[in-house]
Amino acid sequence: MIAFFAIISCKKGSIETNYNPSLNVANNQVIAERAYSQVFNIFFMVVSDSLLKTTGSNQIFGAECTYQDTNGIVYVIDYLPYYTSCPDGKVRKGVITATLDKNFSEEGAIATLSFSNYVVDDLKLDGDNSISNAGISTGLQTYEHDIASATLTFYDTVSHGSYKWSSAKVFTWVEGAVTPGNYEDDVFEIAGSSSGSDLYGVEFAAITDEVLGDYFSCRWIRTGRTYISTPGLDVQSGYIDYIGEDTCTNQVIYYFNGNPFYDQFDQH
């Protein structure tokens, strides 16, 4: 659910600054970043599951998953038409289908992901995206996650509506590679850029200044910093600070004009 901020303003002489449009943009950026990093995480767990490839079916992270390679390589991640409780405390429904051009363990493999009524809590995701095996960089395995044009739609009782988001990110596997099958110790660092228009049509761009910490043991992005540009607003730039360096937290801090604004997420 989107956080609704009280009217926050600062006065200097007769000039008043309303930060709410900037805060809405930052909030939407955080939600999209988290939603699609979780898509990557789920996909990664599914394609890494050896039992699924051996038997053709397995339950993974609350989903009924199938695998076939008789007519291309296809993974189906099925959360069924009703909400399914997942290990991260979220509820999901719908289907993610991943079509691959070759085994994902091979460098250069590309998986095209599509959604069918895929909803996480009250957030629906639409728009194809791709995840590719980018090979080894400085001794670490890397993947690329490209989202050409996503639509995120809210269905909660407080806020309704959709917004657009595009993203190009590199996921670097920095911890957990030596314990295959145990994802609780897996950590990826995320770097790259994104852009979109928020629920109110405000256009924005974002780029990671400090890599984001994607810990599989935490349902929220824990660490990192993202700079935001909003050229159409009075406050044209700021940044998002993920403050979970020491613990898994649902809180972030937005900074605009040097002023901190806290946001807390119960779901996304």
pLDDT of residue 231: 96
**87 lies in a domain?**
yes
DSSP per residue, 30-83: HHHHHHHHHHHHHHHHHHT-HHHHHHSEEEETTEEEEEE-SSSEEEEEE--SS-
Range of the domain at 235: 17-264
**124 lies in a domain?**
yes
CB 244 within 8 A of CB 223: yes
**29 lies in a domain?**
yes
pLDDT digits (tens, 9 = 90+) for 73-117: 999 999 988 899 999 999 999 999 999 999 999 999 999 999 999
**11 lies in a domain?**
no
Q: How high is the mean pLDDT of the chain?
A: 93
**192 lies in a domain?**
yes
Residues with pLDDT less than 50, the chain: 1-9, 12-14
pLDDT of residue 268: 66
Helix (H, G, I), strand (E, B) or coil at 87: coil
Angstrom distance (rounded) from CA 21 to CA 234: 9
pLDDT of residue 8: 47
188: left (phi over 0), alpha (psi -120 to 50) or beta: beta
pLDDT of residue 259: 97
Angstrom distance (rounded) from CA 221 to CA 32: 11
Angstrom distance (rounded) from CA 117 to CA 241: 31
**2 lies in a domain?**
no
pLDDT of residue 251: 95
- 40-45 CB contacts, 8 Å cutoff, 24+ apart: 40/131, 40/143, 40/145, 40/171, 40/188, 40/214, 41/183, 41/214, 41/216, 42/77, 42/96, 43/75, 43/77, 43/96, 43/98, 43/111, 43/113, 43/131, 44/143, 44/186, 45/183, 45/216
**5 lies in a domain?**
no
Residue 131 Cα to chain centre, angstroms? 13
Domains in the chain: how many in total? Answer: 1
pLDDT of residue 160: 78
**12 lies in a domain?**
no
pLDDT of residue 15: 66
